[in-house]
Amino acid sequence: MKNAITLFAAIALGTAAFAQEAETPPPSPSEVLGAAPAEAWQVISPDDLLVFQLSTAPDGSERRIVIQLMDAPWSQKWVRNMRKLAQGGWWDTNSSVYRIAPGFVAQWGDPDEDRAPMEGLEEVGRDDFTHALPAPVSLENPCEDRVLDNAFCDVYAPVAMFKSGWPIATDGTEDWPLHCPGMVGVARDVDPATGHGDTLYTIIGHAPRRLDRNLAVVGRVVEGLDLLRTQPPGTGEMGFYAEGQDPLTIQRARLASDLAPEARPRYKVLKTDSDTFVQWMGALVQPSPFYADPPSDFDICALTYPVREVEGE
């Protein structure tokens, strides 16, 4: 009898454990990233991090903006110009964050725009805003299959996706980076051949996708976006700072590789070809009791691609 009771108790405990296991919810996107192995991440090269050191805060704390420069093959003429500008100390003189247009962009560079351009910068033009594919690619329509598998239904392009960790759109003959929040672009005049990389902006509000293929996207802010979003808005036209407003002064801009090793910021990005990326995408679309009517589509610009600061590694 004692053995029967013990057996019954064991079965009951096993059933309860099974039920508890069955009711365990799948991991959330943050849990997937928290459990990611080291090999799922790619440390960003110091050559690809551009650090803007700003004037100190009123409490004496340091402030900076750190940009991860766009990977090849996109926008590389501007990226090379930006490296040259940083190494030549272009932003170390008369440069500031002088435009804050809430819900749109923050812009920085020389507010007077009266300096002669740096010599030796590469010329740019309309054809440089996109990258021609080696050969045409046949595309499936993600707006029909409604399956989120790194082929997003998109209003502005046949297909949007993450490539090498960047939000990219394509029409099958060329591809181009997107104006998602946090992405950095190059300001220009009406002529597409203007804007060599010395005046930059970042998206601090909703994604203005109408700008895709019309301005160069050259990277993303990996540190300092919240700082820009919380600055007082410009009271001048289009959010430019008016007389009497205090812009954020840029003290200097350097590639991280040109800083002392102990002063270099270190960041890593999730590899698009990793198993963790697949799991992260799956976690984004898992059923949630919050949604009475679960969405069938996801806006690629509503997803913040995983970038993490490297700490103690």
pLDDT profile of the chain (313 residues), mean per 10: 39 42 77 97 98 94 97 98 98 97 97 89 96 94 81 94 97 98 97 95 97 98 97 96 95 98 96 96 83 82 95 67
pLDDT tens figures, 68-110:
999 999 999 999 999 999 999 999 999 999 999 999 999 999 9
C-alpha 253/C-alpha 201 separation (Å) is 15
In DSSP terms, 156 is beta-bridged to none
What is the model's pLDDT at position 15? 41
What is the model's pLDDT at position 285? 81
**Two structure tokens written together for 201:** 């902006």
CATH number for 46-113+122-285+296-309: choose from 2.40.100.10, 3.20.20.70, 2.60.120.260, 2.60.40.10. Answer: 2.40.100.10
pTM for the predicted model, two decimal places: 0.90
Q: Domain locations in the chain? A: 46-113+122-285+296-309
Classified as helix, coil or strand, 223 is: strand
C-alpha 298/C-alpha 295 separation (Å) is 7
Token pair 């920085």 is at which residue? 108
**Two structure tokens written together for 284:** 């984004």
Among the listed residues 67, 271, 278, the one whose alpha carbon sits nearest the alpha carbon of residue 186: 67
C-alpha 98/C-alpha 246 separation (Å) is 8
**Two structure tokens written together for 14:** 């096993």
What is the model's pLDDT at position 149? 80
What is the model's pLDDT at position 5? 39
79 with 219: CB under 8 angstroms?
yes
